[in-house]
Amino acid sequence: MSDLTGEVIDGRYKLNRIVASGGMATIYAATDLRLDRVIAVKIMHPHLAQDEKFVERFIREAKAAAALSHPNIVAVLDQGWNQGGTPCVFIVMELVEGATLRDYIFEQGATTLTSALQMIIPVASALSAAHRMGIVHRDIKPENILVSNEGRIKIADFGLARGALLGTTMTAESSVILGSVSYLSPEQVQRGVADARSDIYSLGIVLFELLTGQKPYQGEDPVQIAIRHVNERVPAPSTINSNIPIEIDDLVLRATNSDPDKRPADGTVLLEELRKLSEKIDPRKRQLSLELDLPPAPLKQPVKEKERKKKSRNAESTQIESENEVKREKTGNTKRISNRVRRNRRIALLLLISLVGIGWYAFAGPGSKIVVPSLAGATVKEAKTVLGNLGLTLKIGSEEFSEDIPEGRIIKSDPAGGGRVDDGGEVTVFTSKGKERILIPNLIGLTPDDAQALLEENNLNVSEITEDFSGEITTGLVIRSTPTQGERVKRDSNVILVISKGVEKLEVIDYKGKSGEQALNELSDIGFEVDTKYVFSEDFPAGAVISQNPISGVADKGSQVTLFVSKGTEFVFIPNVFALSEIKAVTALEDQSLRVSVKKVGTKKEKFVTNISPKVGSKVKRGSKVTITVG
């Protein structure tokens, strides 16, 4: 990207100097002319501004950081598209003068335990705030951890962030490419998914590097490093630096465990553990901390500054040597034209030709055309105003679905941002229909082939076919799907089909002579409908199973099993109730399931049994009538 130093972006931000430049954007130290304050402006490279995916990631970074307010997170102040001058997409942030944690590791190597904790605790504090808001950074590495000249630690670059506030995430492939492989968690490498525990893994690797001065896995092949993160356990830092206590070893090993469930759940949990360890190592730390601890020692000179000065010195040396050589040649033979002079003359001629070509390009050739600004994310009204100011007209093209650009806003243009068009020319814009969501159709009762064809008609895929028993759906037809009927999913989403294996067959056990309650419970638990009938039996005690239907064998799950359970013997013997009071005698007889008739004689106030019929000891059926005489 060409140097934009001196330009005013969006009529407000004057670019003063380049602070840093990467593969995606250049960061300038700038002045906010409206508020008269120093800020940083991050400007996307023009060739990337034509790719809506990169523009979406750029906007995601702004939204992610702007949603957070924390002293250890670089604050985002504004975001927009430059509508005048050089077309560009930009983010306005606070300016952090200092170096990255990578610079510290590069210059100082392994740090002391105290210094490592001083630098890692503020990062954990920042992640704690992000995780509480449901935002996952997904790209924690030393290059994204800044150390200001005042000692403030700050996290930057939320370009890979994901969360409910930010909309959808990037694909697994782009995450692996854009993230740093040495700090990716196993789940990011394998499945492209990440949550708060993935940030914990990355921060655990950073802590390992601070303590040992090296990454856990070395090598030039990123794929091999990624595979080692998946298949191997990160070694304990003490295997490299024997001065590290076992408590720190344990924390690093848990934070970098390949199983996310065994790591600290999020930044808040990790922060609490780090603070406890810090207090244990240095009891003076038992006080409120605002993560303002200065790093152990300032950098002698930023690494990039060293490289720039070294190149400058080399260039000066080369120039001086060239001048000396020309002088020597002139002194030795004033008439002779040296090879170097001839070469310089040829270069001058080429420069002249180049200047003529550039003049033609700018005033008569393609350079005379108008540069189309980036319109991604703008409304049609905003785009029409911007293009109108440039003497261009806007044409509305087709609508397309977009996961990241809201409905009604522009996804892309033709020509794209940075392209050129004749004065008075036309720019076609393509607007967003919002997120595309497809309704899962009703697949129940269809054959697998028919279900798959219906899904493909709806731009959905069958990822797996499984089987299950069903008492309602015929064998070989679809029972259900995952996601289920009526759910809305993205285009090309995977659907799992469950096919019926028919009614499940279960074994019926013969419970004859066993407890009726046991039989009822066991048969019900495995899936039978149980009907219990109680009958008298002279051969089985009360509560025992006399017989069942079916007796044994195999039956359909959900079918009925009938149990015949004994109520005990049908006969009883007349008990001796002579001389008992009327109430006690009636109670004793009714306890034997007998019907009692009372015949009263005499005038006594308190009456007792004087006779009983049938006689005592007689064998009668339950429910028989017994007459007692009281007097």
Measuring CA to CA, which residue among 366, 378, 371, 426 is closest to residue 406? 378
Sequence-distant (6+) residues with CB within 8 A of 29 are 15, 16, 17, 18, 19, 38, 40, 95
> Which residues are CB-neighbours of 190 under 8 A, at least 6 positions away?
230
Cα dist. 328→224, 320, 335, 342, 348 in Å?
Answer: 55, 12, 13, 16, 22
Using alpha carbons, select from 173, 153, 178, 399 the residue that is nearest to residue 295. 153
Given a contact cutoff of 8 angstroms between Cβ atoms, the answer to whether 1 and 45 are in contact is yes
Active site residue 531: no
Q: Could you tell me if 74 and 154 are in contact, meaning their C-beta atoms sit under 8 angstroms apart?
A: yes
Report the phi/psi class of residue 305: left, alpha or beta, with left for phi > 0 and alpha for psi in -120 to 50: alpha
Distance CA 5, CA 14 (A): 8
Identify which of 519, 541, 545 has the alpha carbon closest to the alpha carbon of residue 530.
519
Phi, psi for residue 87 in degrees, rounded to 5? -70, 135
Amino acid letter, 327:
K
Distances, alpha carbon 90 to alpha carbons 42, 55, 292, in Å: 5, 10, 30
Is the distance from CB of 199 to CB of 131 less than 8 angstroms? yes
Catalytic residue among 10, 36, 103, 139: 139
- Residue 598 neighbours by CB distance under 10 Å: 14
User: What are the CA-CA distances from residue 32 to residues 20, 45, 108 (Å)?
Assistant: 19, 21, 36
Closest CA relative to residue 519, chosen from 566, 470, 568, 471: 566
> Coil, strand, or helix at residue 120?
helix
Element (H, E) at 415: none
> What residues form DSSP beta bridges with 334?
none
Residue type, 549: N
Element spanning 398, H or E: strand 393-400
* Helix ranges, 408-515 (H): 448-457
Beta bridge pairs of residue 515: 544
CB 599 within 8 A of CB 610: no
Residues tagged active-site: 139
